[in-house]
Structure 1
Amino acid sequence: MLTDFVRSNASEPHRIRTRQILKSHPELKKLIGQKNPNTIWVILACVSLMTGMAWLVRDQSWWVIIAAAWFIGAFPAHTLFVCIHEAAHNLIFRKPTANMWAAIFANLPTILPTALSFKNFHIKHHAFQGVHELDADLPDWYEAKLINNYAIGKALWLLFFPIFQAIRTLRMYELAVIDKWVLANILVQLVFDTLIVVLFGWKALAFMLLCLFFSVGLHPLGARWIQEHYLTLDPEQETYSYYGGLNSVNLNVGFHNEHHDFPSIPWNRLPEIKKSAPEYYDTLKFHTSYVRLFFRFLFDQEISLYSRIVRKERGRVTVADQSKPDLELVQSQAIPTGSVA
C-alpha cells in the first residue's frame, strides 16, 4: 500500500517513444497536424440532446432528474468534454480562434465555464507530465492523504471530482490562467445558464450540472481518469490506453498512449497509430472495461491517489514549447534518461 507518490528520475516516456515510432514508421508524419472539422457535428448533436433532455425533465421529480443524468445525460456530457479536449489541441479547425469558439459552444450544457481554463492547463499536462507544480492532472498531496485508500473516500472523491480538479489549479502559480478567452467563456456561459433558468427552470439547470458531475465522477465513465495515468496494472507504466466499446461514443479517448505520443493527431486517426506501430503498443498493458476498473478502484486498497508517478525533472521543454507539433518537439528537445525510483 503506497503512502506517497512514486518518484521518478526519468523523463516522461512519450517524446522518447514518439521519436522511436517516427523513425520506424515515417508514414505517420502525414497524420500530424491533420484536423477533423466533422467533430463540430458531434458537438451540435450532444448540445442539442442535452438541452432537449433538460427541457423534458424540467418538471419531473428529483429521482427522475438524477436517474436521467446518470443513465443518459452523463454520456453526451462526457463526449462534449472529449470535444473540448480536441479543441484544446486545435484538432477541429485550422484556426485556433475557431477551435476556442467550438470549445465554448461545447461547454454550454455542462453549466460551469471550464473549457478555456482546461485548455490552458491541459497543454501543460502534456509538456510536463508528472511535474507536480505544472501538471493539474496530478492529485495534490493533501488530496491523496485525505481520500486514503478506502472505498468511501474514493467514492466521495469521484463524486466531487470537478471540485477537487478546480482546487488543484491553485497550485499552478507559474501559469497565467485568466485571459480574454477565459473571460469570454465565463460570459457566454453565464448568459446560457441564465437562459436555461428563465426558459426551463432551476431543475433543468440542476440536471445539466448533474450530467457534468456524473460524466467525470461517480460513474463508470469516471474510471477514465483512473485508466489514463494511475499505476493499476504495472508499477512502472505511466500511461494506459483503454480498448473497449465506449471508445465508439467517447471519440477514441481511450487511445491515451497514442494520444500522448501524438497529441497533434485528431481522435478519428488515433487507431491508425496503434495499427501502424503494433510493436510499440501491443507490449503495453491496457484496460478493456471501465465498469471493471471503476469497481476495482473503489474496493482495491492497493490502489489509491498515491498510485501516480511524479518527477522533478522538467527536461528541456519550456512553456513556449506547448504549441509545437509533435515532430518539431521530438527533433528539438534533448531527452534525458533515468529510471523510476
Structure 2
Amino acid sequence: MGNCEGRTDFEWVYTDQPHTQRRKEMLAKYPAIKALMRPDPRLKWTVLGLVLAQLLACWLVRGLEWRWLLFWAYAFGGCVNHSLTLAIHDISHNAAFGTGRAAHNRWLAVFANLPVGVPYAASFKKYHVDHHRYLGGDGLDVDVPTRFEGWLFCTPARKLLWLALQPFFYSLRPLCVHPKAVTRMEVMNALVQLAADAALFALWGLKPVAYLLASSLLGLGLHPISGHFVAEHYMFLRGHETYSYYGPLNWITFNVGYHMEHHDFPSIPGCNLPLVRKIAPEYYDHLPQHHSWVKVLWDFVLEDSLGPYARVKRTYKLAEERLRRLCFPGPVVPLARPQTEPPWLDPASLGPAGLLPGHPRPRPIGPPPQGTAAAPHLVLGRHSCGSRVGVHVAPRPLMGHRPCLQPGGLLQERPGAGVRERAGARGVDSKRLLARGHRHRGAWTDFNHHDAGGRHLGENSETTYGSV
C-alpha cells in the first residue's frame, strides 16, 4: 500500500472562523443581501421530481441484469441520490418553507430521503448545525476526519479507498466524535424509511431496493459529484479553509459549489447564492477557487500534502465558557491544595493501610473546610486512579459533593484555565463530556465514580447528584 508521507497532523489555528466577520461586514455594506434570505419556492417541486424519477427507475430495473443495474446505479441513480442529499442539505437550513414552518421542512427532508434507502435526513440536520456554528471545531464538527482516518489513509491507494468509502465514514464518524441522543424525528425518519423500503420490496422485489442502495453508495463514494466533499474545506492552499466551485455541476447540486457564500450566509437558499457573489464580487473573486471536482479528487489522491489531515481545526473556548456560565452562573471557587492531609478525614472509612480501596492516597470524605462550599462550581481533573476524567458539577451544600484527592493533591479548577483538560492515558476530553451533555434523568452525572457519601463505586458506575 506504500509508505505514508506528507502531513502528520491537522492544521491547528487559534483564530475564529472567517465567515462570521465577513458576514457582518457584507451586511453592513450591502443590506440588499438580506432580501435573499427567503425560501426557495421551487425546491419542493424539484425534490418531488427527483423522487418520482427514482421511483420510475426502480420500476425499470426490475428485470435488468445485475451488471446493468450497477451501471445505471452509478451513472444515473448516483447523480439523482447525491442531488437529493444536497436537497436535504438545503432543507436543513429551512430553505423550502422558511423558518416559520420548520415541521414542513423536516417532513419534506424525510420525503427526499426515501430514494436514499437509509434514514439520513434527521440526523444530518442535527449535526450540520454544529458544522456551521463550530467550523473545524475539535470534537464538535463531525465533518472533520478523525485522527484514525488521518493516520491510516495517507497513501494514494488508501486515500482512493477512503474516497470510495465516504458514505460509511460520514455516517459512523458522528458516533465516535460527537455522539448525541436519538431524537424523536430520527425515530420517525427511520420508521418511514423502513416502511418505504419494505413496500418497494413487496411490490417489485429485491432489485429496486438494491438499485437505490447502490445509487447512494456509489453516488456518494468515488463519483465526480463527490468531489465537493473534498473541495469545500480541505486545505489546498494554506490559510484558506473554505473554497467555492463555480462550474456546471452546480446545476444538479443546488449550487453547493458556492460554498464560501453558503458559509457566509447559511440562511440563503442555494438558488440565491450566485446573487451574493454578484452583489459583492470584491469579497469572493480574489479568493482561491476550484474549477473541476474531478481534478480535486485527482489531486487529493496523488498529492502528498493532501489527505484526511489536510483540514483546519480549532478549539472553541468561547463556546466552552458560555456552556459553563449557562450551567453554573455562580462564581468558580478554587480549591486550595493542602500541604498536609486534611484534618476532616473520616478514619472509619479507611482500609488497613489507611487508604480508601483503589486509591493511592486518602480521599477526604468528611464535611469540606469552611470557605470552600459557598457557591456552585465546576471541578475538572483526573480520577485519583488516573483512569477517567472527573466532572463534578453542582452546589456542594445541596448535593453533598466531596472533593477528590489525586496523587498531586485536591482536584481544582485553575483560574482562567477554561474547561478543557486532558487527563488519563485514554485521553478523555472533559470539554467533550460537557459538549455532549452527559445527563441522567435531568441531572448531571459524576464520572469520578463516587457517591455523595464518598464511597468508591467502581470504574463503570455513574452517580447522579441532582439537578443543576
Whether the TM-score (by the shorter chain) exceeds 0.5 is: yes
| 2:127 equivalent in structure 1 | 121
| Superimposed CA distance per residue, residues 91-136 of structure 1 (whole angstroms, 9 cap, x where no aligned partner) | 1013000000000000000111010000000011000011121111
Partner Cα separation in structure 2 for residue 188 and residue 78 of structure 1: 20
Once the 2 structures are TM-superposed, how far is the Cα of residue 314 of structure 1 from its aligned partner?
4.7
TM-score normalized by the length of structure 1? 0.89
Shift of 1:58: 2.1
- Structure 1 counterpart of 2:204, one-letter code: F
Aligned to 1:271, the other structure's residue is in SS state helix
Q: Which residue of 2 aligns with 1:144?
A: 150
Which whole-Å CA distance do the structure 2 matches of 1:172 and 1:25 have between them? 38
Amino acid at match of 1:104: V
Q: Structure 1 residue 316: deviation in Å?
A: 4.7
Deviations 1:269-314 (A, max 9, x none): 1001001111110111111111221222222222111100000135
Residue 180 (structure 1) shift: 1.2
Structure with greater proportional strand content:
2
The Cα offsets for residues 212-266 of structure 1, whole Å up to 9 and x where unpaired, read as: 122221111111100000012x111010011100111111110000000000011
Q: Which has the higher helix share?
A: 1
For 1:270-309, list aligned pairs within 5 A. 270-309=273-312
- In structure 2, give the amino acid aligned to 1:167: L
Contact 1:238–1:309 (CA under 8 A) maintained in structure 2:
yes
Question: Could you say which structure has the larger radius of gyration?
Answer: 2
1:184 alignment counterpart: 188
Q: Distance in 1 between matches of 2:198 and 2:253?
A: 29
The secondary structure found in structure 1 opposite 2:148 is helix
Residue 40 of structure 2 is aligned to residue 18 of structure 1: no
Structure 2: runs of 5 or more not aligned: 1-5, 324-468
1:85 paired residue number: 89
**Partner Cα distance (2:312, 2:253) in 1:** 26
Does structure 2 conserve the Cα–Cα contact (< 8 Å) formed by 1:132 and 1:310? yes
| 91 and 51 in structure 1: CA distance in 2 versus 1, 3 angstrom threshold | same
Match of 1:39 in 2: 43
Alignment-mate amino acid for residue 253 of structure 1:
V
Identity, % of aligned pairs? Answer: 37
Partner of 1:163: 168
Corresponding pairs, count: 315
Q: Which piece of structure 1 moves more, 185-194 or 282-291?
A: 282-291
1:265 maps to 268
- Is 1:235 matched with 2:241? no
Residues 1:62 and 2:46 aligned together = no
Letter in 1 for 2:242: T
Matching residue within 5, 10, 28 for 2:33: 28
Q: How do 1:296-335 residues align onto structure 2 when only pairs under 5 Å count?
A: 296-316=299-319
Alignment partners' CA distance in 1, 2:290 and 2:253 = 15
Alignment match, 1:196:
200
Using a 3 Å threshold, how does the CA distance of structure 1 residues 316 and 169 change in structure 2: closer, same or farther? closer
CA distance 1:314–1:263, change in 2 (3 Å) = farther
Aligned to 1:213: 217
Instruction: Say if 1:65 and 1:207, in contact at 8 Å, map to a contact too.
Output: yes
Contact kept in structure 1, 2:40 and 2:271, CA below 8 Å: yes
Letter in 2 for 1:188: V
Task: Give CA-to-partner distance per residue, 1:32-77, whole Å, 9 cap, x none.
Answer: 2x10131011111111111211221122122101110111111111
Shift, 1:202, TM fit: 1.5
| CA distance in 2 between partners of 1:74 and 1:177 (Å) | 30
Secondary structure of 2:63's aligned partner = coil
Distance, in Å, in 1 between the alignment partners of 2:315 and 2:17 is 11
Q: Does structure 1 residue 112 correspond to structure 2 residue 115?
A: no
Counterparts of 1:258 and 1:177, CA distance in 2: 31
- CA–CA distance in structure 2, aligned partners of residues 177 and 134 of structure 1: 15
* C-alpha distance in structure 1 between counterparts of 2:67 and 2:301, whole Å: 24
Normalised by the length of structure 2, the TM-score is 0.65
Matching residue of 2:430:
none
1:153 CA displacement: 1.0
| Structure 1: stretches of 5+ with no match in the other structure | 320-341
